[in-house]
Structure 1
Amino acid sequence: MPSLLLPLLGFAGVLWSSSVLPLFWWIAPAREVPARILIDDRFKRGALEEILAQLESPPASFVQHPDVERAKALVGLRASDEAMMRRGPEKADHQFDGVESKVRSTLVLNPADSFLWLMLYSVTTTRNGFDTVNIGFLAQSYSTGPLESWIALQRNRVALAVFAMLDEAMQQRSVSEFVALVDSRFIAEASGNLTGVGWAWRERLLAGLGETDIVSREALAKRLARDGVMVSIPGVELDERWWRR
């Protein structure tokens, strides 16, 4: 009996490998690539198209997987963004049609995905221009992931760009998010948001820093001073040495 069992076990192992390993190989990018997109990592030219082609060619044993559908949506959107930068919005517009549809269908499988809601806001705004109706997508992103720092790095800039159009609750969320970026020592990003799209709202943004760590506040003040920006940050005394190169 043992002599018969060993060949059977060996055959089962081969069968398992031939059916499961291709599935692992296919799903791997669905978990790795979105993580890179989330931190705004760069890809070699053409790499995203190759990854998307792989994701669109499932093995025979494929069963619809939320991670894979999410990856398709994010990779497609990023590829469309890069195509628009290379060829211009007119030539890339047809790509966004399919991407928006994919993001929407993926949200059915992942309704609590904060980053997907942010991407839906971005793609609809890119395609159709700003529309107050689409702010609901941004609101959903905040509702489903209010404290996710890697999402905040992209979302805060987006929210501050339309700050005047947000209701009071959304404005406060974006201010709190800016404060969290400073407190988490994302100083370069917070400084860029403040001096860029958030400059008109600088007094409110800076006032929110009162309860943050003093070291973080000083780090922001130093960064701004080195960039030639003089502002008043709660609890921080300006030092003229910060302006020296």
Structure 2
Amino acid sequence: MAAIITRNTTQSMGTWNNGRPVRKAFVRAILLFVALFGTLWALVVLPSFWLMAPVRKVSLHIMADGRFRPGILADMLVRMKAQQQPAILQPELRYALALVTLQAAENAMQRKSPDEADREMQAAEGALRSALEVKPTDSYLWLMLYSVVTRRNGFDPENIRYLDRSYASGPNEGWVGLRRNQLSLAIFSMLSKSVQQEVVSEFAALINSGFVEEAAINLTGVGWVERERLLENLKQVDIVSREIFAKRLARDGAKVRIPGVELDERFWR
């Protein structure tokens, strides 16, 4: 019996020892594959990060409505287009490229010939559509697409769908509303009933968030025809904000009734 156990044990150890080189080779192959994959990933993906770093900084400045010295954005676009595009293009990169291209085009409208400006606006439209392919739920991109196509081709009711998509994607985005509310009030009667209500609520949200100056400009400008509906909806706004808004309108001589607010007659003098 002892001889049998010894023989079986010896056979098992022999089998284990014979399999060790195979296992070692298998582990080496896995490690080599992981190392090769990591190297290829770095070569393919890292260029997009290198390109993204300065562009992201500029795009954030644009979103904050920052200003640039003349030629800065145009030079950046030239450098970006001159570089080899990464094989994997991040959604953030397309987004940033769209913002930079759009801002450069808006600057060009003030300094270049109509033909040159139109070419840059056409490029901006293309960049916005490209960004929307990877970020189809971005309310700001839809708003900017509406703005660009309207500037280039004039108002077309067909393009209202871009505004609709903007509200559907982000109805309560304050910083988007700062730009969107004015554009929407300009065509208020042509919007669907549901989008009209979004616009009215957005106007109230501007006041509630402290953007009284912007709301006053919208009301006394493109929103004047709809003033009764806009003002009636201010019942949801806190009373302090309503009072500040009423005083701001009084300084311009706009005699309107703000729900729940009674101003002293001296404000109208």
For normalisation by structure 2, the TM-score amounts to 0.78
Aligned to 1:208: 233
In 2, distance between residues paired with 1:225 and 1:180? 20
Q: What secondary structure is seen at the aligned counterpart in 2 of 1:56?
A: helix
Aligned CA distance change for structure 1 residues 242 and 39 (closer, same or farther; 3 Å): farther
Aligned to 2:162: 137
Aligned to 1:185: 210
Range 97-106 or range 51-60, more displaced: 51-60
In 1, distance between residues paired with 2:241 and 2:83? 47
Aligned CA-pair RMSD: 2.2
- Runs of 4+ aligned structure 1 residues displaced above 4 Å come to 18-25, 57-62
* 1:29-40 correspondence runs (5 A): 29-40=54-65
Q: Does 1:86 align with 2:111?
A: yes
In 2, distance between residues paired with 1:174 and 1:189? 14
Deviations 1:151-185 (A, max 9, x none): 11000011011112111111111111000001111
Q: What number of residue pairs does the alignment pair up?
A: 228
Kept in 2, the 8 Å contact 1:26–1:59? The answer is no
Kept in 2, the 8 Å contact 1:29–1:51? The answer is no
In the TM superposition, what is the alpha-carbon distance from 1:36 to its structure 2 partner? 2.4
- Code of the residue aligned with 1:129 in structure 2: it is G
Relative contact order, higher structure (CA 8 A, sep 6+): 1
Aligned to 1:7: none
Structure 2 spans left out of the alignment, 5+ residues: 1-38
Aligned to 1:3: none
In the TM superposition, what is the alpha-carbon distance from 1:88 to its structure 2 partner? 5.0
Q: Percent identity?
A: 52
- Code of the residue aligned with 1:222 in structure 2: it is K
Aligned to 1:41: 66
Q: Does 1:232 align with 2:257?
A: yes
Aligned CA distance change for structure 1 residues 61 and 135 (closer, same or farther; 3 Å): closer
For normalisation by structure 1, the TM-score amounts to 0.85
2:144 pairs with one of 119, 126, 138: 119
- Code of the residue aligned with 1:165 in structure 2: it is M
In the TM superposition, what is the alpha-carbon distance from 1:137 to its structure 2 partner? 0.5
In the TM superposition, what is the alpha-carbon distance from 1:226 to its structure 2 partner? 1.3
In 2, distance between residues paired with 1:34 and 1:60? 18
Kept in 2, the 8 Å contact 1:218–1:236? The answer is yes
Kept in 1, the 8 Å contact 2:48–2:89? The answer is no
- Code of the residue aligned with 1:42 in structure 2: it is R
Kept in 2, the 8 Å contact 1:38–1:151? The answer is no
In 2, distance between residues paired with 1:124 and 1:203? 31
Structure 1 spans left out of the alignment, 5+ residues: 1-14
Q: Does 1:96 align with 2:121?
A: yes
Q: Does 1:241 align with 2:266?
A: yes
Aligned CA distance change for structure 1 residues 168 and 21 (closer, same or farther; 3 Å): closer
Deviations 1:82-120 (A, max 9, x none): 111223544311222222122112101111111110111
In 2, distance between residues paired with 1:90 and 1:200? 35
Kept in 2, the 8 Å contact 1:34–1:74? The answer is yes
Indicate the structure (1 or 2) with the bigger Cα radius of gyration.
Answer: 2
Aligned to 1:110: 135
Kept in 1, the 8 Å contact 2:121–2:152? The answer is yes
Aligned to 2:196: 171
Kept in 1, the 8 Å contact 2:48–2:90? The answer is no
